Amino acid sequence: MALFMVVLVLLFILALSICTALLRWNELKFSKKGLPPGTMGWPIFGETTEFLKQGPNFMKNQRARYGSFFKSHILGCPTAVSMDPELNRYILMNEAKGLVPGYPQSMLDILGKCNIAAVHGSTHKQMRGALLALISPTMIKQQLLPKIDEFMRNFVSDWDNKIIDIQEKTKQMAFLSSLKQIATVESTSIAQEFMPEFFKLVLGTLSLPIDLPGTNYRRGLKVKYPSAFRFSLHSIVSSRLSCSFITLQARKIILTILKQLIEKRRGNQESHKDMLAYLMSKDDNNRYKLSDDEIIDQIITILYSGYETVSTTSMMAVKYLHDHPSILEELRKEHMAIREKKRPEDPIEWNDLKPMKFTRAVIFETSRLATIVNGVLRKTTEEMELNGFVVPKGWRIYVYTREINYDPFIYPDPLAFNPWRWMDKSLESQSNFLIFGGGTRQCPGKELGIAEISTFLHYFITRYRWEEIGGEKLMKFPRVEAPNGLHIRVSFY
Ligand code: HEM
């Protein structure tokens, strides 16, 4: 027995020495002079476990120790984390200086090589220009809003006296509404085949197989997400994403559906008025003409970028409104006033969106309080100096914007859901407002997303009241989601 104890102690000491040596070795490996302060954790895994287990607290603790610009090794990459508002702005504004999007190759493989996050410089300008033309205020007013209105009105039409999972519904809503704007006539017929493949594709871009034995985090995952952890393009993405067979298969099927759609349209010369028609048209001589591959990747970009942001913001708005009846009443007042001036069959139009000031405030407050977007990723194309520190070529930069959302100087009583704080327009135009990103990659779909969520809320709250059942759990980090769904009982108002 005594011998066994001695062996056990020796093994323990050996293990401890190996661990210390590994940690030391990893620190030395990244100890080049001039790097930002911080720790790199274990070889390969870095500090991923701590980051995922402690969530935002990991970031806050590191900031307390090392300042607002520190190094770490998370999600498979040496990373410089910036929580410094000034520096964040600089990084977002200076893509031309070698601070390009840092989304991993495997994600770009899934979303396509012409995907907007995959291209830089003049190609990015062209792709972005083509996209902006598609979702400009004029397009929203003339083309998109009528489709959004028709879709939302029908989508919520039969919810009376039902128990629904609002998480699932808002996901379907975000996808189907975009699909209708892209290919209006065909959207109903292709949706059944397209939607499950699209959901697989999204899951593939969000899956991170992390196999770190013995952590609570892993045990938690086993219960909730067998062998996979999910991230959002708009929140955090890992370089070790799994580009699985199923995901690539889903991309292939989506490509086939879209290629057939394009060929069919070329074949029958019918005229259409939707995003696909605009992308395919050769009329406007000044416009950059996209190849078929670019058109397809542009469509996947639109579907993908607006999907999780719009669906999660809508779900969380429903949640916060449920929890704050007086705010719901205020919002209802705004929408009832708009409805009262219309016949029941009249759509929501561009001119109705402007007066929806409180709705806009509810959307911003929801995005802020829930932090739908934790930050964005960049990587360095060459070694560079930032805030007096050296960031080597190829390092990822995590522009972590989450903490700004809870800054009491910008948002007094930051944990309160208080849409009124946004009624003063200046808050939206502040340089700290990074809910939709900033600089050259600032979200081009901001107004479209707001129009979609506003129209959804219009039909939902003017028709229904609802109550939550089950008090279901909500996860806030690294993604906002209800692991078991968010079930509500809906009845006519
Ligand atoms: C509430 C809704 C939305 C939020 C909170 C949001 C947020 C963001 C953020 C933070 C970025 C910056 C990403 C980066 O810098 O790497 C971004 C970029 C982007 N968003 Fe959105 N977004 C929303 C809705 C939409 C919608 C509806 C579309 C549909 C077209 C869209 C399309 C895009 C695209 C294409 C980019 C990349 C732009 C580029 O790289 O130039 N977004 N979004």
Q: 454 CB under 6 A from ligand 1?
A: no
Known binding residue 443? Answer is yes
Q: Which residues of 247-268 are buried (b: 16+ CB within 10 A; e: fewer)?
A: bbebbebbbebbeebbeebeee
The verdict on pTM exceeding 0.85 is yes
State the pLDDT at residue 214. Answer: 41
Q: 311 CB under 6 A from ligand 1?
A: no
107 pLDDT higher than 80 = no
Q: 117 CB under 6 A from ligand 1?
A: yes
What is the tens place of the pLDDT at every residue in 251-303? 999 999 999 999 999 998 889 999 999 999 877 766 677 899 999 999 999 99
**CA 305 to ligand 1 center in whole angstroms:** 6
Q: 257 CB under 6 A from ligand 1?
A: no
State the pLDDT at residue 207. Answer: 56
Domain boundaries, the chain: 20-492
**CA 442 to ligand 1 center in whole angstroms:** 7
The DSSP line for 252-266 is: HHHHHHHHHHHHHHH
**CA 307 to ligand 1 center in whole angstroms:** 10
User: Closest Cα to atom 20, ligand 1: which residue?
Assistant: 443
Residue range 20-492 forms a domain whose CATH class is mainly alpha
Mutate which of 305, 312, 368, 404 for ligand 1 pocket (most atoms within 8 A of beta carbon): 305
**CA 134 to ligand 1 center in whole angstroms:** 14
Q: 110 CB under 6 A from ligand 1?
A: no
What is the tens place of the pLDDT at every residue in 405-442? 999 999 999 999 999 999 987 899 888 899 999 999 99
Task: Grade residue 308 by pLDDT with cuts at 50, 70 and 90.
Answer: very high
Q: SS3 for 21?
A: helix
Burial class of residue 77 (count of CB atoms within 10 Å of its CB; 0-12, 13-18, 19+): buried
How far is Cα 199 from Cα 14, in angstroms, rounded to an integer?
47
Residue 217 φ then ψ, to 5°: -55, -45
Mutate which of 173, 278, 443 for ligand 1 pocket (most atoms within 8 A of beta carbon): 443
Residues 379 and 98 sit within 8 Å (Cβ to Cβ):
no
Q: 101 CB under 6 A from ligand 1?
A: yes
Q: 38 CB under 6 A from ligand 1?
A: no
Q: What is the mean pLDDT of residues 122-147?
A: 94
Cα torsion 74, 80, 82, 88: sign:
negative
Cα torsion 464, 467, 470, 475: sign:
positive
In which order are the strands placed within the sheet that holds 487-492? 162-165, 487-492, 464-468
User: Closest Cα to atom 39, ligand 1: which residue?
Assistant: 441
How far is Cα 362 from Cα 193, in angstroms, rounded to an integer?
34
Q: 443 CB under 6 A from ligand 1?
A: yes
Q: 83 CB under 6 A from ligand 1?
A: no
Atom of ligand 1 nearest to the CA of 372: 5
User: Closest Cα to atom 36, ligand 1: which residue?
Assistant: 443
How far is Cα 58 from Cα 78, in angstroms, rounded to an integer?
16
87 pLDDT higher than 80 = yes
How far is Cα 313 from Cα 446, in angstroms, rounded to an integer?
12
Q: 306 CB under 6 A from ligand 1?
A: yes
Q: What is the mean pLDDT of residues 123-132?
A: 92
315 pLDDT higher than 70 = yes
Atom of ligand 1 nearest to the CA of 117: 40
Q: 102 CB under 6 A from ligand 1?
A: no
**CA 115 to ligand 1 center in whole angstroms:** 13
74 pLDDT higher than 70 = yes
Q: 316 CB under 6 A from ligand 1?
A: no
State the pLDDT at residue 23. Answer: 65
**CA 37 to ligand 1 center in whole angstroms:** 31
140 pLDDT higher than 60 = yes
Q: 305 CB under 6 A from ligand 1?
A: yes
Task: Grade residue 148 by pLDDT with cuts at 50, 70 and 90.
Answer: very high
